[in-house]
A and B are shown apart, each in its own frame.
Chain A
C-alpha cells in the first residue's frame, strides 16, 4: 500500500520536472531578450530540478524502507546535489544579469534605465544627495 502511494508520487514528480525543464527550453527559444531568457532558463530549471531530485529521494526512501541499505546513500547524496543546485543557480544568474547589463545589452522596449550611471535621472538624484 505504502509502496503504491510512493510510486504514484514519484511519477507525478517526474512528470512535473520534465514539464518545467521543457518549459525552460521553450522560454529560452522564444523570449526576445537576454534578461527574459535568463528568467526562463534559470528559474524553470531550478524548479524542475527540485521535483526530479525529490523523486529520486523518494525512490531512495522506498529502497531504504524495503530493506536495502543502499537507499539511504541515495537520499543523502541526492540531497547534496539538490542543495548545490539551489545555492549555485540563482547566484550564477545574478552574476550573468549584472555582466550583461554592464557590457551594454539593453532590455527590449525599455525607455528609462535606472541602473545606468550616466543617465540624467540618477545624475540629478545624486546631485540632490550631495546638496543635502
Chain B
C-alpha cells in the first residue's frame, strides 16, 4: 500500500498538520472574535495546500479539483463572517 504514495509529500503533509495544530491553539485561545476568524482563515489556506500536496502524493488529480472549489467556498465564508462582524446587512 505504502508504495503507491510519494513518501516525501506525505512528510510535507505532516509538517502542514503541525501548522494547523498551532493555528487551532490560536482559535481556542483567541480573546476576541476576529482573532478566531483569523485563525480559521489561516487553517483554510493550509488545508487547500494540503489537498494539493495529497493529490501529488497519491497522483490523483481529483484532490486538486476539490482544492480549487474549497478555496472559493472558504473565501465566500470568510467574507460573510467579516460582514457579520462589521454589523452590516448581509
Contacts and interface: CB of A to CB of B under 8 A. Distances in A.
Interface string A75-104: 001101100110011011101101110110
B7 interface: no
Contacts of A21: 15-16, 19, 46, 49
B41 A42 contact: yes
A37 B15 contact: no
A28 B42 contact: yes
A49 B86 contact: no
A59 interface: yes
B42 A42 contact: yes
A78 B68 CA distance: 8
Contacts of B65: 77
* Chain A binding surface, main DSSP class: helix
Given A24-B42, A103-B87, A92 B75 contact: yes
Contacts of A49: 45, 48-49
Interface residue tally of chain B, by bracket?
35 or more
Interface residues of A, number: 46
Given A14-B12, A17-B12, A37-B26, A46 B49 contact: no
A12 B83 CA distance: 39
Contacts of A25: 18-23, 42
Interface of B: 8-9, 12, 15-16, 18-23, 25-26, 32-35, 37-39, 41-42, 45-46, 48-49, 52-53, 55-56, 59, 61, 64-65, 67-68, 71-72, 74-75, 78-79, 81-83, 85-87
Given A25-B20, A95-B82, 16 more contacts: A21-B19, A24-B19, A29-B25, A29-B26, A34-B34, A41-B42, A45-B42, A45-B45, A49-B49, A52-B12, A74-B64, A77-B61, A80-B68, A93-B41, A100-B32, A103-B85
